[in-house]
Amino acid sequence: MRALTLIILVSILALALAAQERTPSTSPYPDSADGLRQQLEDLISSYKSGDQIAFRSELEALSIPSAHDWIAKHFSPADIPKLQSDYPLSLSGFLGHLNWVVENASHLPGWEMAVKPSELPNPPAPSGPEAGIPALSQPIAVENFRYGPAHPEDPPDRSWVNSFVYVEGRFRYVGGTYPFWAEELQRLRRPESIPGNFHQARLIHRVSPNYPKEARRQHVEGLVRLQVLIDKKGKTRVLKTISGDALLTKEATKAVQKWRYEPTFLNGQPIEITTTIDVSFQLNH
């Protein structure tokens, strides 16, 4: 009888430990880039373990807990229904992307995730087309991070920027480069989408990129396409690499960040715009 009782107790303990392994850690991650890196590394470890339940649990822990209530707490009543329906769609795309990243890269020996802080986009303008973007009724500390594989075999431009909030000791996804409630800003800040009396920026200072030695050695050439923010003073900030060989992207980015434009005006007021810029690299044959 004692032996049977011991076996039952051991079985219960084993089940409890297994359940604990499938539940994301309740220990808080630091509110920093290193904290997000640790969180993503734990996600990768759960995938490598082969425990799909634990992996899905870690993946889903990147979502906002009780998202409907969280949205209702932080936004005006008029915006709540749309945002409550928008968030699951945005979240689904992010989780699918992250699942793809882990499945396609974590098999590499020594593979790990690199995470760096990234600049937040400027908030919506209080007037004009951007005034209709949902406004926060309570402040939210949104943090942007660029993350991607740190493995040396991966191209350095294979990385992504996403927005997160830090809730209950974890980072929770709230959008891409822009938070999901402000993604409309990306459309509004494209020149072709701006209504009214619009005066397009004109390039007044161009810097040619240096040709990378390794790219020249390997006879690599072609176009690098960048997504660029032109601010109200005509200064440029590269938001991300859209396409281009990894050997060329660094020098393309360094050059474009030195470009200057005349300010863009809408109805006489300077505005920021997001545009794409192609940088050509061509060897003399």
Instruction: Quickly count: other Cβ atoms within 10 Å of residue 153's Cβ.
Output: 10
State the CATH class of domain 189-281.
alpha beta
User: Residues 137, 146: contact at Cβ < 8 Å?
Assistant: no
pLDDT digits (tens, 9 = 90+) for 15-26: 334 434 444 556
48 is written with which tokens? Answer: 């490598």
Q: What is the pLDDT of residue 262?
A: 84
List, by residue range, all CATH 3.30.2420.10 domains of the chain: 189-281
Structure pTM?
0.59
Instruction: Quickly count: other Cβ atoms within 10 Å of residue 15's Cβ.
Output: 10
pLDDT band at 192 (very low <50, low <70, confident <90, very high): low
Cβ neighbours for 56, distance < 8 A, ≥ 6 positions apart: none
pLDDT digits (tens, 9 = 90+) for 258-275: 999 888 776 667 777 778
Q: Which of 182, 161, 164, 183 is nearest to 173 (CA)?
A: 164
Q: What is the Cα–Cα distance from 252 to 272, expressed in whole angstroms?
A: 21
More confident residue, 100 or 62: 62
pLDDT digits (tens, 9 = 90+) for 35-58: 999 999 999 989 988 888 999 999
pLDDT band at 69 (very low <50, low <70, confident <90, very high): very high
